[in-house]
Amino acid sequence: MIAERSFPALQGMYAMRKKENERIAEYRDIAVLSIVPCIVGILTLVSWALAYWGLGPYFLNSGLALLAVFGGGYLRFITGFKDIYNRKITVNVFVTVALIATVAVGEFRAAAIIVFIMAVAGALESYTLDKTRRSIRGLLDLAPAMATVRRDEQEVTIPVGQVQLGDVVIIRPGGRIPVDGVVIAGASTVNQAPITGESMPVEKFKTSEVFSGTLNETGRLEIRTTRTGDDTTLAKIVHLVEHAQGTKAPIQNLADRFTTWFLPSVIVLALVGFLTSGDIKVAVSILLVACPCAFAIATPTAVTAGISNMARHAVLVKGGMFLELAGKLDTLLVDKTGTFTLGKPKVVGIVTFNDMSENEVLRLAAIAEKYSEHPLARSVIALAKERGLEIPDPDEFNIEVGMGVTAVWNSGKILVGKERFLASSGISITPDIERAVSQQAGRGRTAILVASDNKPVGLIAIADEIRSQTPDAIALLKAMGIKNTIMLTGDNHRVAKAVAEEIGVDSFRAELLPEQKLQYVEELQKQGRLVGMIGDGINDAPALALADVGIAMGAAGTDVAIETADVALMNDDLCRVADFIWMSKKVLRRIKLNIFFSIIYNAVGLVLGSLAMLTPVLAVIFQEAGCITVVVSSALLLWARPPQHRYSNPIVSSE
């Protein structure tokens, strides 16, 4: 009881300590980012003061300025020389050449001021980008540091790092779940927005899966640990996104190609400026203002913000190139089972014969199927329980594999199964019954007949339930510019046609094996199509890997599909695919806007520099203004929301 009472207090103390540590860490980061600009600024100010008031020898104030230049800019110099050695022309090469030229003409304090401005802008840029990444790393903070575990029939509170696989973890109402696991006792509602992005809490009961970092809202749960630490779904999400943010989008190669020819052109322009003006400072200003920093960060900052935005809404993008490609897709292939549909059979209709009521037909079928493990039987039992029907145990029970079941209850014989199973048992199948079975088959449904005391009493129609959001998702995808949405399935043609007509896809392919799905992707790509593929199972993995953009259904999907795909939906809402494509298009537009800004800054700066209207210091201020404009422009993507506004709240938020 003491431990029971003290646990909330312990949680409260830990939460306060954690927030305090977070504040200290943030202040420390700001301090570290500020150190270099401060030191460079102080050295530059002292150098200027000594020169202005004529204090001390010349080498002293000049030495302080040079110390500021090489102390504050040494990382840029080292990187620049490495790039030159590797025969690469990069932004750092620009900076290195410009600073060396500034120092060479004796403008030591001007060079120091340039380094100071660059250090301040670099610190601001680093802090902004770190805030972007911190929004994802902050997910890890959702997982509590302590866990209550049952050990030797006692509940003990231990650090999460000491929880082992198989341990039973106790989660009280209001507590966050520290590990991935399976519920073995209790029932509750859990807010699992950090993992699936669902705005509504999800009911959890025995055998339900729960994830680290999700919030237990109402009841007490006991879960058996299946994954801990870096193996949890939450940790994998964070690591996956961090890895994706480090990858290049194809459009980023444009910056590399741009700098390759731009630097020689600028050097020629700087020489022309010097020859026409006779002032070496004009040449130095041209070199400084032409530095394409804004151009170099135009793509990575936008891609990083876009990936972060999607991750906060349960869409994990494994690389910038996939974020770019998604906006250009013209064909989308979608596996039917588990993607368009739930992959679980459900009773969708009951037809009665001989004046029998629907509930009585369902009750008789449920009695006969009570001991069956067949998926169709489970769907019948589920509906009977949903309607509150009493399902007594059958007195006798027998399965005819592939045909149906026979049961005896209350001295009466019940048969449930296929048409030919009942016919082989001597039950008369009338033309009306045959017609009813044929109508259900024409709609892509499986029809099982129910007979009692040698008379057919009804028909139960069962089908794979279509996800409620599927029609909306298809409409959104078309609005996003997807010209062809094609459903792929291993089901027969009749079932595939019925589902395709109901959900509104452009076309479908039925009776496909995994290798045939792969061949179809290849066929479309040879036609010049840019192909996306959505799937959830192992059989979809080859096609997911080959498609230009493979998208896995994260919550329902297998580990193989998720690992193979380029994008993972951490819930099963297909509308998130439309959101992903929308974000892709928005990121591409923002990249183009950023490049436009950077070119304008460079063009105007080069004109002003060529007309001798810029000093080296003003040139750097102008050039860094372009960088800040690009960073702010990209950062706005963090708060961009799809036009349909289906999200209730971002998943990274304080409680």
pLDDT given for residue 437 in this prediction:
87
Report the mean per-residue pLDDT for the chain: 80
Number of domains comprising the chain: 4
Which amino acid, residue 135?
Answer: S
424: domain CATH number is 3.40.1110.10
332: domain CATH number is 3.40.50.1000
Distance (Å, whole) CA 311 – CA 321: 16
Last-in-domain residue among 466, 486, 510: 466
With beta carbons less than 8 A apart as the criterion, state whether 380 and 358 touch: no
The model's pLDDT over 35-45, given as tens digits with 9 standing for 90+, comes to: 888 888 899 89
Most confident of 56-65, 122-131, 261-270: 56-65
Does residue 63 sit in the same domain as residue 117?
Answer: yes
Does residue 364 sit in the same domain as residue 407?
Answer: yes
pLDDT given for residue 84 in this prediction:
84
Does residue 253 sit in the same domain as residue 160?
Answer: no
- As a whole number, mean pLDDT of residues 58-78 equals 87
Distance (Å, whole) CA 502 – CA 341: 11
CA distances, 386 to each of 148, 457, 491 (Å): 35, 21, 28
Q: Is residue 175 part of a domain?
A: yes
Last-in-domain residue among 229, 255, 276: 229
Last-in-domain residue among 420, 439, 466: 466
The model's pLDDT over 168-201, given as tens digits with 9 standing for 90+, comes to: 999 998 889 999 999 999 988 887 755 654 445 6
Does residue 161 sit in the same domain as residue 204?
Answer: yes
Most confident of 242-251, 440-449, 507-516, 594-603: 594-603
The model's pLDDT over 319-371, given as tens digits with 9 standing for 90+, comes to: 777 888 888 899 999 888 777 877 678 898 899 998 889 999 999 999 998 88
pLDDT surpassing 50 at residue 635: yes
The model's pLDDT over 457-496, given as tens digits with 9 standing for 90+, comes to: 999 998 877 888 888 888 888 888 888 999 988 777 877 8
pLDDT given for residue 195 in this prediction:
61
150: domain CATH number is 2.70.150.10
DSSP 139: G
Instruction: Count Cβ neighbours within 10 Å for each residue of 267-290 and write b for 16 or more, e otherwise.
Output: bebbeebbeeeeebbbbbbbbbbb
Backbone angles phi, psi at 12, to 5 degrees: -65, -45
Beta strand ranges found along 489-535 (DSSP E): 507-509, 531-535
Distance (Å, whole) CA 439 – CA 170: 52
Does residue 578 sit in the same domain as residue 625?
Answer: no
* pLDDT band at residue 9 using 50, 70 and 90 as cut-offs: very low
Q: Is residue 646 part of a domain?
A: no
Distance (Å, whole) CA 43 – CA 37: 10
Distance (Å, whole) CA 529 – CA 548: 9
CA neighbor of 97 nearest in space, from 67, 66, 72, 73: 73
Backbone angles phi, psi at 177, to 5 degrees: -85, 125
Q: Is residue 1 part of a domain?
A: no
Distance (Å, whole) CA 332 – CA 582: 15
* pLDDT band at residue 147 using 50, 70 and 90 as cut-offs: very high
Q: Is residue 650 part of a domain?
A: no
Does residue 295 sit in the same domain as residue 274?
Answer: yes
Does residue 92 sit in the same domain as residue 129?
Answer: yes
Q: Is residue 505 part of a domain?
A: yes
CA neighbor of 624 nearest in space, from 114, 260, 258, 252: 114
Does residue 388 sit in the same domain as residue 352?
Answer: yes
Does residue 445 sit in the same domain as residue 487?
Answer: no
Does residue 479 sit in the same domain as residue 573?
Answer: yes
pTM above 0.75, yes or no: no
DSSP 410: T
Does residue 500 sit in the same domain as residue 634?
Answer: no
Which residues are marked as active site? 335
pLDDT surpassing 50 at residue 382: yes
Does residue 394 sit in the same domain as residue 406?
Answer: yes
pLDDT given for residue 294 in this prediction:
77
Q: Is residue 575 part of a domain?
A: yes
pLDDT given for residue 365 in this prediction:
93
pLDDT given for residue 647 in this prediction:
44
pLDDT surpassing 60 at residue 221: yes
Three-state DSSP at 506 gives coil
Q: Is residue 530 part of a domain?
A: yes
- Give 153's strand partners: none
pLDDT above 90 covers what percent of the chain?
17
pLDDT given for residue 402 in this prediction:
61
Q: Is residue 203 part of a domain?
A: yes
Please report, in angstroms and rounded to a whole number, the separation of the first and last CA atoms in the chain.
27
pLDDT given for residue 128 in this prediction:
54
pLDDT given for residue 241 in this prediction:
53
Domain that holds residue 283: 17-137+243-307+584-639
pLDDT given for residue 359 in this prediction:
92
